[in-house]
Structure 1
Amino acid sequence: MGALLSLPGVLRAEQIARSAEYLVHSQEPEGAIPWFPGGHTDVWDHVECAMALAVTGRSVPSHAAAARRAYLWLESARHPDGGWPAKFRQGVPVTGLREANHAAYPAVGLLHHLLTTGDTAFAERMWPLVEEGLEFALALRGAHGEILWARAEDGSPGDHALLTVCSSVHHALRCGAALGVRLGQERPAWEAAADRLEELINGREDLFADRSRFSMDWFYPILGGAVTGVAAKERLKERWDRFVIPGLGVRCVSDQPWVTAAESSELVLALTAMGEREAAVRILGDVQHLRDPHDGAYWTGYQFAEQTRWPVERSTWTSAAVILAVDALAGATGGSRVFLHAWDED
């Protein structure tokens, strides 16, 4: 059993455990973790929740079991032609659209699960999902090596690439390759594809559709490990005042008075990977105004011009992002190395 996760001055261990309980409470019997009880599920956010449960599962066995159920659900939810439908309701697909980052993200989650739990047998069982998901994403490569964002219901590829999506796929390719090495399944082609994405993210941002108003396009190249060092510091400094609202958190989009706990927590992950711990702790503390004291769930966002929570929902993946940010700052589990891009340090 591992020690309870905490971050002194920000969140106590019992508070983090209560936030994780909200994820368990929201999980459907088959294993899917929707946005909120009765809401829809998408694979990217579902995996984020599974990672958070694996973290708290080191000390709470029921959370560990819930994380396993979440990953096992992915087996039955696959689309017969690869990837996963972009949206499920009560376990039933409601669209044939399949997004590249959804397909790739189980690679991040399952390396995280192995580093957190040490369960090689489970990783070996789940390996086909990693391989199929990453190959689905790579089949969406454009002319320059960028990843087109999705495959439509009729099977046609999307007509543009997104910087956040490609940053997430870059992260997933690195994680998938690292997992493969640990399982005796080396995939040098995945590393080569990640190398190419890294080049494009750093040098050809013009290839991606303009989503610069979204904070994720600002920090996700760093969170995904493609932009590092001096370039990462310059990137954050350039748009810091556009997105960061002191005392409240991080805007979702630059032109709206709206901060969100998930974007704030994901910026915390990026800052932690850069070694900017003081700023990371400050932002994670700022966003605690979105915590519901009754059960530890987090409201998705806050519209500060109207001084109201919006949307009126408590998204599971928001609570998960907070937990993962705490774990990265605390360095409590081996899984935190997935977000510090240090998975080769045993």
Structure 2
Amino acid sequence: MIEFETTLDAIGALQDHRGMIPWAAGHHADPWNHTEAVIALALGARYHAARRGLGWLTRVANRDGSYCQFFTTSAVLEPRIDLNNCLYPAVGALAYLVSSRDVASVRDFAISFDVTVDFVLRRQRSDGSFPWALAPDRTPLEGSLLAGSSAMVLSLEAIEALDALLGRNRPHVKEASAALGAYICDPASRFLAKDAWAMDGYYPVLAGVLDDADARRRMQEFLERHYVPGAGVQAIANSSWVTTAETAEAAMAMIRLGELRQARQMLDDIEALRRSDGGYLTGWVWPDRVSFPADERSAYSAAAVIIARYLLGLGRPVGLVEGILARE
């Protein structure tokens, strides 16, 4: 598909000589959004670029396995450690392994990434939750994030899948995932107040931690609060900022529920944000249709569209990790 290939070209054009994929041209990178681009490149059979992306992740990890929050092309920009960021590279490694069959490269990555997994799991609290981040001195910061915790469940699912494909068995990973999922579903659990943000609405559904009835109820409420038909998803409720990435990720949540028609409509909505070079604008102000940030074409936005379109193309209810494994 020519449009698909052009978008992959747009993502690949942002990758620097070290393998880093920044948010957008001239911007910084973070491990999560970098990994999102790696997933898209792997699903699109851009194996060399995806492997270079995994190599960058290996090189910038701290000795204890942690990842700093933000990087420039030559230095650490923000030394805070987001635990969700630390685990998400597993999803990129899984996508690369299943797509490329390059077991040797992924086994090497997994060996170094084991230190990261152990670093994060040691931070799990007795109630199953994780602090959302650590200060540079490794002191836990107060509170947990609902979207970040849900994304961590996805990452732990990917780690289990990687282990299975590499012939490894680590029951404590599954146990950590189950405890975190239970915490997310517990009505008594407390998260930092981010309920106006779109990600808090759809990420528990995307992660598959809710039962079907609760997931459908949550997504219906989400659509009523965040979705602007014909435009996309508002990143923050009642704002005028509609974004590509949040729309594509929300579509992934709808795909997981089997609501394929709704997911397709949401993805069609944001085609207006696609540029002639295959990139996607980060977002626009609605209804003025003014690009914001001005003409910013973010790698993670384009990647989210590719991933969502790939999952939609499977034609059935499927989660992210299950969808990646479907390439086998």
Counterparts of 1:73-92 in structure 2, within 5 Å, are 73-92=56-75
Identity of counterpart residues, as a percentage?
30
| Deviation of 1:45 (Å) | 0.3
Amino acid at match of 1:20: L
Any stretches of 5+ residues in structure 2 without a counterpart?
Answer: none
User: How much has 1:225 moved relative to structure 2?
Assistant: 2.1
1:301 alignment counterpart = 283
* Alignment-derived partner of residue 94 in structure 2: 111
Relative to structure 1, is the Cα distance of residues 288 and 341 closer, same or farther in structure 2, using a 3 angstrom cutoff?
closer
Which residue does the alignment assign to 1:245?
228
Change in Cα spacing, 1:208 to 1:337, as seen in structure 2 (3 Å) is: closer
**Counterparts in 2 of 1:171-190, with a 5 A limit?**
171-190=154-173
The answer as to whether partners of 1:36 and 1:314 remain within 8 angstroms in 2 is yes
Number of residue-to-residue matches in the alignment: 325
- Measure, in 1, the Cα distance between the counterparts of 2:75 and 2:199: 29
Structure 1 residue 43 and structure 2 residue 31: aligned?
yes
Letter of the 1:74 partner, please give it.
Answer: L
1:271 counterpart letter in structure 2? M
CA separation in 2, counterparts of 1:344 and 1:284? 21
Q: Which residue of 2 aligns with 1:29?
A: 17
CA distance in 2, matches of 1:179, 1:287: 32
Distance 1:114 1:38 in 2: 30
**Which residue number corresponds to residue 279 of structure 1?**
262
Structure 1 stretch displaced more, 123-132 or 260-269? 123-132
Structure 1: which 4+ aligned runs deviate by more than 6 Å? none
The 3 A distance-change label for structure 1 pair 115 and 337 is farther
Q: Using the alignment, how far apart are the partners of 1:102 and 1:322 within structure 2?
A: 20
> Match of 1:41, SS?
coil
Counterpart residue type for residue 155 of structure 1: R
Q: Distance in 2 between matches of 1:223 and 1:248?
A: 21
- Distance in 2 (CA, whole Å) between partners of 1:305 and 1:226 is 34
Please tell me whether residue 123 in structure 1 is matched to residue 106 in structure 2: yes
The structure-2 alpha-carbon separation of the partners of 1:340 and 1:302, relative to structure 1 and needing over 3 Å to count, comes to farther
TM-score by length of 2: 0.94
Q: Structure 2: how far apart are the matches of 1:218 and 1:276? A: 16
Cross-structure match for 1:288: 271
The within-5 A match list for 1:145-294 is: 145-204=128-187, 206-293=189-276
1:327 aligns with 2:315: no
C-alpha contact 1:262 1:318 (8 A) present in aligned 2: yes
| Length-normalised TM-score, structure 1 | 0.89
How far apart are the structure 2 equivalents of 1:167 and 1:256? 24
CA contact (8 A) 2:144 2:190 kept: yes
Instruction: Note the alpha carbon deviations across 1:26-79, whole angstroms, 9 max, x for none.
Output: 00100000011221010000000011111112xxxxx22111100011111111
Q: What residue in structure 1 maps to residue 125 of structure 2? A: 142
For 1:97, the equivalent position in structure 2 comes to: 80
Whether contact under 8 Å (1:269, 1:339) holds in the other structure is no
Relative to structure 2, which stretch is displaced further, 305-314 or 321-330?
305-314
Mapped to 2, the partners of 1:342 and 1:225 lie a distance apart of 15
Amino acid paired to 1:94: L
SS at match of 2:78: coil
- Asked whether the equivalents of residues 30 and 69 of structure 1 are also in contact (C-alpha less than 8 Å), the reply is yes
Aligned mates of 2:290, 2:326 — CA distance in 1 = 44
Match of 2:2 in 1: 14
Distance of aligned partners of 1:298 and 1:251 in 2 relative to their CA distance in 1, 3 Å threshold: same
Q: CA deviation at 1:188?
A: 0.7
Checking the alignment, whether the CA contact within 8 Å between 2:255 and 2:319 is kept in structure 1 is: no
Q: Which amino acid aligns with 1:83?
A: S
Q: Which residue of 2 is the match for residue 60 of structure 1?
A: none
Q: Structure 1 residue 153: deviation in Å?
A: 1.2
State how far apart, in whole Å, the 2-side matches of 1:211 and 1:65 are.
38
Deviations 1:111-137 (A, max 9, x none): 122222222222211112432222222
1:8 corresponds to: none
One-letter code aligned to 1:307: R
Task: Kindly indicate whether the alpha-carbon contact (under 8 Å) linking 1:328 and 1:339 is maintained by their aligned counterparts in 2.
Answer: no
What is the CA–CA distance in structure 2 between the aligned matches of 1:183 and 1:339, rounded to whole Å? 16
Once the 2 structures are TM-superposed, how far is the Cα of residue 306 of structure 1 from its aligned partner?
4.0
Aligned residue type for 2:201: W
CA distance in 2, matches of 1:288, 1:47: 23
Deviation at 1:339, TM superposition (A): 4.1
- What RMSD in Å do the two structures reach over aligned CA positions? 1.9
- Asked if the contact 1:140–1:150 (Cα under 8 Å) also holds between the matched residues in 2, the reply is no
> Partner letter of residue 28 of structure 1?
D
